[in-house]
Amino acid sequence: MKLFDVYPLYDIEPVKALGSKLWDKDGTEYLDLYGGHAVISIGHTHPHYVKRLTDQLNALGFYSNAVQNSIQEELAAKLGEISNCEDYQLFLCSTGAEANENALKLASFHTGRKKVIAMKQAFHGRTSGAVAATDNPKIVAPFNADHQVVFVPMNDIEALKAELDDQTAAVIIEGMQGVAGIYVPSNDYLQQVSALCREAGALLIMDEVQSGAGRSGKFFAYQHSGIQPDVISLAKGIGNGFPVAMILIAPHIQPWHGMLGTTFGGNHLACAASLAVLEVIEQEKLMENAAELGEWLIAELKAIPQIKEVRGMGLMLGMSFDFPVAELRKNLLFAHKIFTGSAGDKNTMRLLPSLAVSKEELIQFLEALKIELNNLC
């Protein structure tokens, strides 16, 4: 049997990792500033993470959601404490797309409506409703195309007002648009959207799949605006490589048995992984590290003349150039052994390192970037 060929692959096979470093099968060392699409939050193979998962696997790896599971309660309490969302409810699943799918379904159940307003350039996943709310027709199959989704430009409040009505179930916005190239909704925009959703009886869903788990310098990126969304989706960094996802649900939304469901969500190993991530974020002050290093790195990047714009917060950054970045990224990878990220905008490079990345590692990147920019320009 062959693999279904949907991924363009670099001819590199990592076989070992620690912190922000990877080693391939030939022993070559790489600096990872992309973290597998913002997944690696506390660093590869963090010893506390490895021990938490190993101990749990030695005890019990999985049972379904048909029985009591106190580690889910432990995770809910810890997440509420660290995220300052203690009054929210928690539903556990396995992927970011699944989280957004359940968020949209929940909004439709709660409001009795079908219409969803999403942002232009949005990415929310590849499953039925999530991909319908993703602004990329190439990955929306005919089967997915019949959802009632309207796209409006982010940060254009008048465009949103024109579409928000009594048929709208939800407005869904990323804490920062990741795949598009790191575009940030303004605090004023989020505050106005939140108020308008309340007036219209629609739910506000904040997709923090990529921007959550401390990456922005706060636990959720939306928290820079002071709003309180109705539903928050979270994945990627909360598992540090283990498939974990969840939605946080405001207390005014009431559940009923069978409303949502999943086989693997909230299993014992997944909860152990997320607890380990939260414990390391707290103990090693990684949100503070993301905020401090992010502020420093933004200033350093803005001082490089070939960079036209720097966007983002904390350790979720996009750099725009006046040329496609594919060759630049390739040179950084093969000449300097540094992983970076691409974006929907071909002139944008993304940085999504571990929240535990060091200043020395970022200086290594800056030096390599300047060399390659001088070579190209």
- Where residue 245 sits, what CATH number does that domain have? 3.40.640.10
231 and 158 within one domain? yes
145 and 218 within one domain? yes
183 and 324 within one domain? no
pLDDT, tens digit only, all 377 positions of the chain:
999 999 999 999 999 999 999 999 999 999 999 999 999 999 999 999 999 999 999 999 999 999 999 999 999 999 999 999 999 999 999 999 999 999 999 999 999 999 999 999 999 999 999 999 999 999 999 999 999 999 999 999 999 999 999 999 999 999 999 999 999 999 999 999 999 999 999 999 999 999 999 999 999 999 999 999 999 999 999 999 999 999 999 999 999 999 999 999 999 999 999 999 999 999 999 999 999 999 999 999 999 999 999 999 999 999 999 999 999 999 999 999 999 999 999 999 999 999 999 999 999 999 999 999 999 87
Sheet with 21-24, edge to edge strand ranges: 14-18, 21-24, 29-32, 338-339
Residue 8 covered by a domain: no
Whether this prediction's pTM lies above 0.85 is answered by: yes
Tokens of 341: 């990220």
Residue 201 covered by a domain: yes
Label residue 226 exposed, middle or buried (CB < 10 Å: 0-12, 13-18, 19+): exposed
* Distance between CA atoms of residues 60 and 53, nearest Å: 10
258 and 232 within one domain? yes
Q: Residue 346: helix, strand or coil by DSSP? A: coil
94 and 201 within one domain? yes
> Domain of 335: which CATH number?
3.90.1150.10
160 and 40 within one domain? no
Q: What is the model's pLDDT at position 376?
A: 86
295 and 273 within one domain? no
Q: What is the model's pLDDT at position 182?
A: 98
Residues 6 or more apart whose Cβ sits within 8 Å of residue 347: 320, 321, 322, 323, 324, 325
* Distance between CA atoms of residues 203 and 171, nearest Å: 6
> Which of 267, 283, 299 delimits the end of a domain?
283
315 and 169 within one domain? no
220 and 143 within one domain? yes
> Which of 237, 256, 283 delimits the end of a domain?
283
Residue 144 covered by a domain: yes
Residue 5 covered by a domain: no
- Helix H or strand E encompassing 78: helix 70-83
Q: What is the model's pLDDT at position 154?
A: 98
145 and 53 within one domain? yes
> Which of 283, 318, 341 delimits the end of a domain?
283
222 and 120 within one domain? yes
Residue 101 covered by a domain: yes
Question: Domains in the chain: how many in total?
Answer: 2
Label residue 24 exposed, middle or buried (CB < 10 Å: 0-12, 13-18, 19+): middle
* 276-311 per-residue burial string, b: 16 or more CB within 10 A, e: under 16: bbbbbbeebebbebbbebbeebbebbeeeebbeebb
158 and 94 within one domain? yes
Residue 9 covered by a domain: no
- What are the Cα distances from residue 284, in Å, to 41, 287, 290? 12, 9, 11
Contact of 213 with 238, CB cutoff 8 Å: yes
Residue 234 covered by a domain: yes
Name beta bridge partners: 115. 168
First CA to last CA distance, the chain: 46
Contact of 151 with 119, CB cutoff 8 Å: yes
Among 217, 255, 209, smallest CA distance to 88 is for 255
Tokens of 117: 């307003």
Question: Where in 29-127 does DSSP place strands (E)?
Answer: 29-32, 89-93, 115-119
Residue 355 domain boundaries: 14-46+286-376
Residue 71 covered by a domain: yes
Task: Please tell me the total number of residues recorded for the chain in this structure.
Answer: 377
Among 277, 319, 246, smallest CA distance to 99 is for 246
